[in-house]
Structure 1
Amino acid sequence: MTLKQLIYFLAVADTGRFVQAAAEARVAQPTLSRQVQALEDDLGETLFTRGRDHVTLTSAGETLLPLARRIVADVETARLEIAELADLRRGRLRLGATPSLCVSVVADVLAVFHDSYPGISLQISEGGSQDLVTDLEDGQLDLALVIHQADRFTTTGGNGGPLPAGSLRGRAGSAPGSSAHAGGTLGLTPVLREELVAVSATAGHAPLDDVLGDHAGIAEIARHPLVINRPGYELREAILSACAAAGVTPRIAVEGGEMDAVLRMVERGLGVAIVPSLVLAGRSGLRTTRLDGSGWTHRTIALAHRTDVSPTRAAEAFRETLLAVLARTSRTGGLPPGVRFIHPGA
């Protein structure tokens, strides 16, 4: 098995056609076909079911696919790590973040990072924590800002070492469909603690806080039409779990969409939503109600990385930049209401 064979295998898997895969890999189609056949011979399994105009993965191919992606990604990371030896004048940072962070602190941190390291290419992936953790485990991301789930991570402190057990508490239990990293655990650096709030439109239907007052429990909120994110978002799972624990069934008015879409739907009076306080800056069309309850009404934001490979220098530089920007913003009172900086070294 060679790296070239895995690259050709991924090209065929992604395109579904040997001819198109050869074009993307910039190699003659017979050469690519021979290399894929050699890989199949070496493994003793057929990786593709070959049709007249299209190919599909066999069970063996589906098993190899995520492993091949990780191997190729790790090799590319090794190449970039060598290139970064020149004082971070070149390189790449692949950062994942939840939608609530992409519309708040991430842009500010990236602006400072880009000013300090203009030669580093920035690639940003936006998604729910579950999706980002999967991409991080598969080697598609260098770092990810995610919502902490206690059983998925090894928590790391200011010096990168493990924190004492129980020093950071998160929502227990992995979300449905999650899987442990094949090569080990993920490292975690807690950075922010944020409050969840209920939001409603300021015009049109009666505002939520006119009905519920300044505070409301999940049972009261569940009586109103709810706008909620698509599956894959930790916030969605937290809301539904809170409803289940309270013995209520939410009335979902709109299901799906990223954070900006959810907020816009609420502004238009389609329903109420439970969102992180981080996303409310500049949203004059929304009114807020604080949540009664414990455990689920606050959450921890953490910077996650793989522990089975060394972080790139660009990733280390971003971590330092992130902590410095958040610490400075916290000292100057620039964090939104309901958000606080909690890095252990602060």
Structure 2
Amino acid sequence: MNIKELYYYHDLVRTKNFSQVASDFNISQPTVTMAIKRLEESFGTTFFMRDRSHHQLTVTSTGLQFDQHVQRVIEELEIAQKELARAKQERISFGLPPIIGSWYFPRFTPALLQAGLLNQLEVVDHGSASLLQLLAKGELDLALLGSLQPFQQPSLRARVIDKAPIKIIVAKDHPLTAFKNGISFAQAAQYPFITLDDEYVHAQAFRQAAHLARVRPKIIFKTSDVQILKALVANNSGISFLTDLALDANDGLIALPLTDGSQPEFIISLAARANRLLTPNAQRLWSILETPLKRS
């Protein structure tokens, strides 16, 4: 079986037109016809029904089933090409969400500098949901991901490396600072919120906390910028729901722990594709990142 024939096959399923496939791959139509014939003979079945009188081509049920396998083969081949190309360059494509990249990952930089790995990283900065998709497509070697639950996908090799509570964040002179030892989400929900948008897992955590508390908090502003969110909260424009990982001493903010049971927490995981064989440099990066660090 020629790998190119699988590409011809999938394109024919998509277009149902031999001439179009020939044009797409800059080959002759008889080349496409013979490729499909060889595949059908190889598997002892018919993948296409041809109605020459009406110039129609119909994909059989076995043809559709075979195309599902073909798509997976093509996807894996394309992923392999990307991974092998990066391996030759000795570069590591590394996914970092904004909060983890800004307030958690820097703790590892001394060890990465000492190992000579920091300058090998090609950092991709997106939200965890987007990075998870890039991992699946083979666009990334490794990623640090934020979530509310540990990852359980069979296609993913994931290790939880840290957890942090998500708290109510208020300005230092806000009335809710009276609840420094703890506050219920329902109590906090009496004040307007400034939240992160759906690119962050915090949006899901906020909805989950509101559902558990059976309240509908008022959201006056959503943003994708953590610094803007913190500045607005510090200015008493509203309160927020944020992991304390993202707080600095000079932010002018107070983090109030929630007293409610079963509250969401921010989970940080190190992840790679399950069938991805890491290069020596990528494996060294994995080993450094999975080493527990003391919280500063």
Q: TM-score, normalised by structure 1?
A: 0.61
CA displacement at 1:102 relative to structure 2: 1.1
Q: 1:76 to 1:185 in 2, by over 3 A?
A: closer
> Quick one: which of 206, 210, 217 aligns to 1:250?
217
2:285 counterpart of 1:279: no
Percent identical = 17
User: In structure 1, what is the equivalent of residue 177 of structure 2?
Assistant: 209
Q: 1:188 to 1:260 in 2, by over 3 A?
A: same
How large is the Cα RMSD of the aligned pairs?
A: 3.6
CA displacement at 1:237 relative to structure 2: 0.4
CA displacement at 1:232 relative to structure 2: 3.1
User: In structure 1, what is the equivalent of residue 84 of structure 2?
Assistant: 78
User: In structure 2, what is the equivalent of residue 127 of structure 1?
Assistant: 126
CA displacement at 1:246 relative to structure 2: 1.6
Q: Rg bigger for which structure?
A: 2
Are 1:200 and 1:266, in contact at CA under 8 Å, matched by a contact in 2?
yes
Flag the structure with higher helix content.
2
Instruction: Map 1:321-332; keep pairs closer than 5 Å.
Output: 321-324=288-291, 327=292, 329-330=293-294
CA displacement at 1:238 relative to structure 2: 1.2
> Quick one: which of 207, 231, 234 aligns to 1:240?
207
Instruction: Identify unmatched segments of 5+ residues in structure 2.
Output: 12-21, 37-46, 48-67
Q: Distance in 2 between matches of 1:219 and 1:235?
A: 17
Q: Distance in 2 between matches of 1:270 and 1:198?
A: 14
Q: Distance in 1 between matches of 2:175 and 2:71?
A: 50
Structure 2: which amino acid aligns with 1:92? R
User: In structure 1, what is the equivalent of residue 237 of structure 2?
Assistant: 270
Are 1:199 and 1:208, in contact at CA under 8 Å, matched by a contact in 2?
no
CA displacement at 1:39 relative to structure 2: 11
Structure 2: which amino acid aligns with 1:202? K
CA displacement at 1:70 relative to structure 2: 6.2
Q: 1:250 to 1:34 in 2, by over 3 A?
A: same
Q: TM-score, normalised by structure 2?
A: 0.70
User: In structure 2, what is the equivalent of residue 293 of structure 1?
Assistant: 260
Are 1:208 and 1:287, in contact at CA under 8 Å, matched by a contact in 2?
no
Instruction: Identify unmatched segments of 5+ residues in structure 1.
Output: 10-32, 45-62, 84-89, 155-183, 337-346
User: In structure 2, what is the equivalent of residue 197 of structure 1?
Assistant: 167
CA displacement at 1:107 relative to structure 2: 2.3
2:116 counterpart of 1:117: yes
Q: Distance in 1 between matches of 2:117 and 2:28?
A: 40
